[in-house]
Amino acid sequence: MAELKTKGWLYDHLGDLPKWQQNAFRQFRNMIADPGNTYPCVPGRQGFLSDNLRFGFAEDPRSEQAVLDVAHLLQQYGDCSRQTGKYASLVVFFKTSEELTKTFSIADYEQLFWSVLSRVSAIDQIPWPEHISTDPSHPSWEFCYDGHPYFTFCGTPAHEVRKSRQFPCFLLAFQPRWVFEEVNDSTPFGRNMKKIIRKKLVDYDGVPAHPSLKWYGQEDNQEWQQYFLRDDESVPSKCPFTYMKNKFKALGVHFHKS
């Protein structure tokens, strides 16, 4: 069963882990804590350096086991995230086969991403918080699990243009909504942080920031559009989350939590 790991634990035990897990963590460390300080997500970098991040490993993202792994990690994380520091995030690395790496396009990974979130949500036994809409078209919508809302980020091996979304294995990060209590458009700190991140993002990717990147709760914001960014500026015509979640329920797909 997937268990939360700290950076310190991983440094001490990395050699005992399967090779793919060793590689995933090393590659993440080299990306987010690069000596040149080029990685655009300033809170993510600070979270890594200050040991605020927590990590987990999941099986092939197409599998039922991966769904159970993510659900178990989120359940553990929801209980402790506020004790991990103000730059909290959960990073989940998935076992990504050579088949996926060589044959999956960005469109394939996009569908896989929403499939994972939908399947995880389908086994959630706790109602979403009352202040979070279950309608993805509403500005307050955010992915929730076990009563906790999260901004969700995806990285894939297929991204080439948006290097900030490129990673050697399929990766999901879950950032608790409470992290943004001080980082938003209503605070000078938040506005300044946005300017810094946007400049670093353009420098890192070499292309303009995706037009979907807006503030949570902003009237014209569609939060789900920020979760998975394509290499170009296009977005799906409608959120795949509700469609997929309903599809799994209609098919009678059930994942048994252990």
- On whether residue 257 sits in a domain, the answer given is no
Strand ranges, E, within the chain = 53-58, 89-94, 143-145, 148-155, 171-176
Q: Residue 183 sits in which domain range? A: 7-250
- On whether residue 1 sits in a domain, the answer given is no
Q: Is 2 helix (H, G, I), strand (E, B) or coil?
A: coil
As a whole number, the mean pLDDT across the chain is: 88
Q: pTM score > 0.85 for this model?
A: yes
Q: Would you say 217 and 139 are in contact if contact means Cβ atoms under 8 Å apart?
A: yes
- On whether residue 256 sits in a domain, the answer given is no
Q: Kindly report the backbone phi and psi dihedral angles of residue 54, in degrees, each rounded to the nearest multiple of 5, phi listed first.
A: -125, 150
- 172 forms bridges with which residues in the sheet? 92, 154
Domain count, the chain: 1
Q: Tell me the C-alpha distance between 177 and 155, whole Å.
A: 19
Strands 53-58, 89-94: parallel, antiparallel or unpaired by DSSP?
parallel
- On whether residue 2 sits in a domain, the answer given is no
pLDDT digits (tens, 9 = 90+) for 186-225: 666 667 777 788 888 889 988 888 666 655 545 556 788 8
Strands 171-176, 53-58: parallel, antiparallel or unpaired by DSSP?
unpaired
Confidence of residue 74 (pLDDT cuts 50, 70, 90): very high
For residue 159, what are the contacts with CB-CB under 8 A and spacing of at least 6? 106, 165, 166, 167, 231
What is residue 96's predicted lDDT score, i.e. its pLDDT?
98
